[in-house]
Structure 1
Amino acid sequence: MIEETSKENIELRIQMASRAYQFLKNTTIKERAALMNAVADQIEALGEELTQIAHVETSLPLARLVGEKARTIGQWRSYAKAVASGIYSDPRIDLAQPEKQKGDLRKYNIGIGPVVVFGASNFPFAFSTAGGDTASAIGAGCPVIVKAHPAHPQTSQMMADAITNAVKEFGWPEGIFSHITGTSYEIGAYLTQHKDIQAVAFTGSFNGGKALFDIAHHRENPIPVFAEMGSINPIFALQHLIENKAEALAKEYISSLTLGVGQFCTNPGVFISIKGQSLDRFIAAVRNEIQEIKPAKMLNNGIYESFEKHKSNTVKQPDTEIIVTTETEEGKASVTIIKTNAQSFLNNPVLSEEVFGPFGIIVICENQEELIRIAQNLKGQLTITVAATSDDVRKNAELINLLKDKCGRLLFNGMPTGVEVVYAMQHGGPFPATTDSRFTSVGPDAVKRFVRPISFQNWSDEFLPEELKNENPLQISRIVEGQVNTGSLKLETV
């Protein structure tokens, strides 16, 4: 039984977070980075009990969980390094020019205030309580209140304890991190609409993310909701590529589609190509590839039931045909692949909705014009893959140009599952994939979501934040008079 955090306790946690924000505003990027590294140490010190509990709660393989734990530790450390470098403080200095009657202006980024993070079900470590949202918000200088995902409560509590222990070791205010539990939607709504909450980070369903976005938008003081809400991540297979490697492409596709029982937000749910013998070969190879794949447990019964419901609804749509489905077993998800024509895909919105799990649709186009129309009508996606040769790309410039408008990450071959935690990663996309395509939720740039600029005019050096002082005590890169500058400014203080 999951304990429902009381409204009084939530209110107390928000007040604590508000006070902690005032404390964090006076910490330096180096100090926050040190805390983040301490959190990484705490998580690393958690033994096999963590992965064993997560395995029981989520049915994810132990090997996957060991890797995800390492990824989570790496996120805290890499984000800490990025924060300490000053890249997200983005300090800029324009010195006074009395002869031109121009004052001294200095600008940098500060945290926007208390942030609510909603844990995800499919990544109990990397996208949940101690995931990238929490790490990037704390790095930005924002206290975090986590609404734990009810699918893995013990796992969430262990990760929360790791963060709490690090905060205690530093002697920093308890309100820097709070952990709230419960299953009611009212908790999320209450947190999102509270006047002291300044941002929300969410990973999950479209309905959940959009509901939070609407609540935040209608507040007296609207706040940003950074919601990642799913994607069908289409693959556009072009002619020369599929002619040359139909069978190899089928192997890659099925491996990606069924990875983790299809429970990745970058799962390639739709495969689009022009009819012909090459596509027929691909479809035949797909049948062969999935014959040996056994049914598997999903993260929890709720996700399994949702998968079966959406799969059944999609299969029943007009002009669809099951290509292949693997053996079934009660309570476990089996792989299903269907096909449809381009006109039906364009005219029936059900066919372009995400089915979260091992389910794929092959869309057969009559010609290049239908391929273009699908690209034109496609909703925003996290990823789009172009399976192509270089010659294909040259001959499909219009298509490629259209696809750039529809996704956050555009792949040239390869498969979209597998998200690297690096600076150049963009894990976000146009609506409805996310609520704000300008930001990523993976990689150090995730910190950008939780900062805002503030400019200081004509303040003496004594009262400026460390990032803007003349001596540059943090030894970070700054833009001074429009030029990158890593040194100190030899100026007299006023």
Structure 2
Amino acid sequence: MNQTKEILDAYVQKSAEAFQFLKTTTVTERAAFMHAVADNIEALDDNLFEVAHRESALPMARLQGEKGRTVGQWRSYGDAVAKGTYIDARIDRANPESGKNDIRKYSVGLGPVVVFGASNFPFAFSTAGGDTASAIGAGCPVLVKGHPGHPETSQIMADAISKTVKEFGWPEGVFGHVAGDYVEGTDTLIGAYLTAHPTIQAVGFTGSQQGGKALVAVAAKREVPIPVFAEMGSINPVFALPELLESKAEEFAKQYVASLTLGTGQFCTNPGILVAQTGSAFERLKAALSEAIQEAKPTAMLHPGIAKNYVDKKQPFHSQEQVTILAESATKAEQTQGQPTIAWTNAEAFLSNTQLSAEVFGPFGLLVEAQSTEQFVEIANALEGQLTATIAGTENDLATNRSLASVLQDKVGRLLFNGMPTGVEVVYAMQHGGPFPATSDPRFTSVGPDAVKRFVRPISFQNWPEQFLPAELQSSNPLKLTRTVDGQPTSDIL
């Protein structure tokens, strides 16, 4: 890999040089760049969909919607950057009588960032995804390690960003792209090398726990450790409470299976565990789940490796004691498809066997039969950190199960009351992150404009002359930002 290291070093050096340039840009200039990237992605023709469909097997309608989401991310994040939301400018003016200094603070980019493309969202979480958009918005150059599952798609999106860099006359190193199939057999080594590189200052990752934990370990062993913002998946438990099931068991079962099989179950918010209380309503739920899963059709998974992994991860449930396969799709899956499957176990077995809480990436759900709602709380306490959890119930159910809601707040980044977790809206209030091992740092989100917060750090300027201050902190407020001045928000000229 010696020759590869030389090439990677050259990429990183360009990123370092570009960082010095980005430090001179304002939030307004970076926002304009982000809108231009959105325009160039939006202008891509149907070849993008054809290539992405061939590489990922995702349906055209899904890819068209995801392209729209990607464009929207760049624009909405750009709008948030332009407002100065994430520089968090604060000014405490001097008071000569008391000897108080003039102190001004805002947030700046961390430095060059490595982003690892995800397999299941080739547009919105990959090369031109939210990690790249938020890092550039923060003022950080980005070096993307393209995902080997969709190398041509990755290159098309990379070209759209690089085109924007040229149009703006910005340094080439503002955005770099290392192809996913760059050197056969060295993909993992490239990721580790970039993460360990002393010039790199942060990492954005979406993928498996194995991959995310490996990068966190590499970053922690550096002479100067850096943050790795890894989103590593989740089983996203759903707790179906008694009163709701009594009246809506069959309807709820259909909603659950629809969410479980959406996108062949290849979402990090896939509801892999369903907990309900034993009784007649539970039996109706179990029967309805079996019927719905048999009617569900197998669909293609992202690539053969993921299809094989799904089969391998699902297989132990066929041999576990106190686990029964309730039903599978009545249609036999082809080799690269995911067979929709529902299994059953009881709460005692679930609590005593940690293998039963492992994520199965695909259309697989485990129905857990609890003896009481008190046992729901035991199960919630036993869970690792999750991206989401859902309480399905009536308001009366919620009122009588407040301890469950309280425990789940400690376990998740997003707590739903009814509905299913697979829809992740790109809005300010979205929290797409959760306690470890769902993510490596639960303080941050990887979806929504707040994703920019991951890639900035604060710096204060004390008693600096006006003309040498960053525009964002100048008393004349040339960018017309809302800032906190002497403890009060204002956009006034000082």
Q: TM-score band, normalised by the shorter chain?
A: over 0.9
C-alpha contact 2:202 2:227 (8 A) present in aligned 1: yes
> Within the alignment, does 1:219 sit opposite 2:222 as a pair?
yes
How many matched pairs?
487
Cα distance in 2 for partners of 1:51, 1:329 equals: 25
Offset at 1:292?
Answer: 2.3
Q: Which residue of 1 aligns with 2:340?
A: 335
C-alpha contact 1:44 1:73 (8 A) present in aligned 2: yes
Q: Which residue of 2 aligns with 1:250?
A: 253
- Encode CA deviations 1:214-237: one digit per residue, 9 max, x unaligned: 111111101000000000000011
Offset at 1:391?
Answer: 0.4
Q: Which residue of 2 aligns with 1:31?
A: 29
C-alpha contact 2:293 2:342 (8 A) present in aligned 1: no
C-alpha contact 1:5 1:180 (8 A) present in aligned 2: no
Q: Which residue of 1 aligns with 2:356?
A: 351
Q: Which residue of 2 aligns with 1:492?
A: none
Cα distance in 1 for partners of 2:339, 2:36 equals: 42
Q: Which residue of 2 aligns with 1:196?
A: 199
TM-score by length of 1: 0.97
Q: Which residue of 1 aligns with 2:150?
A: 152
Question: Which of 290, 293, 298 is 2:293 aligned to?
Answer: 290
**Residues 259-408 of structure 1 mapped to structure 2, 5 A cutoff:** 259-326=262-329, 327-331=331-335, 332-408=337-413
Q: Which amino acid aligns with 1:471?
A: S
Offset at 1:468?
Answer: 0.3
Q: Which residue of 1 aligns with 2:62?
A: 64
Q: Which residue of 2 aligns with 1:113?
A: 111
- Encode CA deviations 1:280-325: one digit per residue, 9 max, x unaligned: 1111111121222222210000000000000002332111001101
Cα distance in 2 for partners of 1:48, 1:277 equals: 52
Cα distance in 2 for partners of 1:375, 1:179 equals: 41
> Within the alignment, does 1:208 sit opposite 2:211 as a pair?
yes
C-alpha contact 1:253 1:415 (8 A) present in aligned 2: yes
Cα distance in 1 for partners of 2:275, 2:60 equals: 34
Q: Which residue of 2 aligns with 1:186?
A: 189
Cα distance in 2 for partners of 1:389, 1:380 equals: 25
Q: Where has structure 1 moved over 3 Å in runs of 4 or more?
A: none
Offset at 1:370?
Answer: 1.6
Q: Which amino acid aligns with 1:262?
A: G
> Within the alignment, does 1:169 sit opposite 2:174 as a pair?
no
Q: Which residue of 2 aligns with 1:135?
A: 133
Moved more, 43-52 or 324-333: 324-333
C-alpha contact 1:404 1:410 (8 A) present in aligned 2: yes
C-alpha contact 1:341 1:364 (8 A) present in aligned 2: yes
Question: Which of 443, 466, 481 is 1:476 aligned to?
Answer: 481
Root-mean-square deviation (CA, aligned residues, Å) is: 1.1
C-alpha contact 1:17 1:144 (8 A) present in aligned 2: yes
Cα distance in 2 for partners of 1:369, 1:256 equals: 26
Q: Which residue of 2 aligns with 1:14?
A: 12
Cα distance in 2 for partners of 1:403, 1:5 equals: 49
TM-score by length of 2: 0.97
Q: Which amino acid aligns with 1:427?
A: H
Cα distance in 1 for partners of 2:263, 2:67 equals: 16
- Unpaired runs of at least 5, structure 1: 490-494
Give 3-state SS (helix, strand or coil) of 1:318's partner.
coil
- Encode CA deviations 1:104-147: one digit per residue, 9 max, x unaligned: 00000000000000000000000000000000000000000000
C-alpha contact 1:408 1:430 (8 A) present in aligned 2: yes
Offset at 1:8?
Answer: 1.1
Offset at 1:480?
Answer: 0.2
Q: Which residue of 2 aligns with 1:457?
A: 462
